[in-house]
Amino acid sequence: MSSKKIFIAVGIIVIVVISVIVLYFLFQKKKAVLQEQTQNQEITIPASLPSGIGSSMSQENVAEARKIFENITRETVSDETKKEGSKKIDFKNQAGSPIPLSDFEKGLGVEISPKLKGYLDDGYQIFYCPGSDGKKEFGLYLEYSQDKIYRGFTYNVLDMTKGWEGTIFPNLHAVLFPDVDFSEDSLNQKIQFRDGKYRYAEVGLPGGEKSSIQYKAIECGIIVSTSPSCLDNAYQYYEPSEPY
């Protein structure tokens, strides 16, 4: 074999060897990348668990809110409550954390005007006052988001709350009248709000009895109750002593 042919053969062999080596390293690099991607996917799976936990916690909050309110409606009015004139109840889960307003709504079957809710935070309370007939008069306090408070803000809230008047009774009846079994027609009754000491409207109860819905937009939130006397008591408690 001539030296020229030998040189060509050696060159071909060298090229083949180099190609094999390059392909081998490319294969190893691709394998390493795939392994790294697999490891990253395995790490991502546990990271997705909190969303499931959050969903479970939401369901627990909804159930806990319902349980708290059921206990409130059943409990006997204490001597302390009679002396104070009202009792305020915070809604917290078993871990001691406040139950979000959205879970409170789901648990109690109430609905707050979406436009108004955009200006609220998770500060809220249920309160009740001892009624003259031995029954409880219920109310709801909704706190504004402190980030959105400014002087004159309550006037804007009052306009928004007036826009809610058309549905405030069916939206809040489960909280304001928990012991009353309203028919669908009763919930759809037309009520007319008027200006008085507070913004108020008469509500017809089954059996021909009458009650009312009273509300007041104050500097730090909105108070809703079923009687002016109970709202008087809550107003003195929630209205800050000094303006913002």
pLDDT attached to residue 43: 35
pLDDT attached to residue 72: 95
Q: Is 140 within the bounds of a domain?
A: yes
User: How many Å apart are CA 239 and CA 244, to the nearest integer?
Assistant: 11
The residue type of 24 is: Y
Mean per-residue pLDDT pooled into runs of 10, the chain (244 residues): 59 64 60 52 37 58 95 93 94 93 95 88 92 88 80 67 93 95 91 94 92 91 94 89 46
Q: Is 29 within the bounds of a domain?
A: no
Report how many domains make up the chain.
Answer: 1
Q: Is 171 within the bounds of a domain?
A: yes
Q: Is 32 within the bounds of a domain?
A: no
Global pTM? Answer: 0.72
pLDDT attached to residue 156: 73
The residue type of 237 is: Y
pLDDT attached to residue 155: 62
pLDDT attached to residue 239: 84
Q: Assign 186 to helix, strand or coil.
A: helix
- Contacts by 216-221 with C-beta closer than 8 Å and gap 24+? 217/154, 217/157, 217/158, 217/161, 218/154, 219/149, 219/154, 219/243, 219/244, 220/143, 220/144, 220/149, 220/244, 221/120, 221/123, 221/141, 221/142, 221/143, 221/144
Q: Is 243 within the bounds of a domain?
A: no
pLDDT attached to residue 69: 96
Q: Is 64 within the bounds of a domain?
A: yes
Q: Is 13 within the bounds of a domain?
A: no
pLDDT attached to residue 40: 45
pLDDT attached to residue 186: 92
Domain range enclosing 224? 49-238
pLDDT attached to residue 2: 61
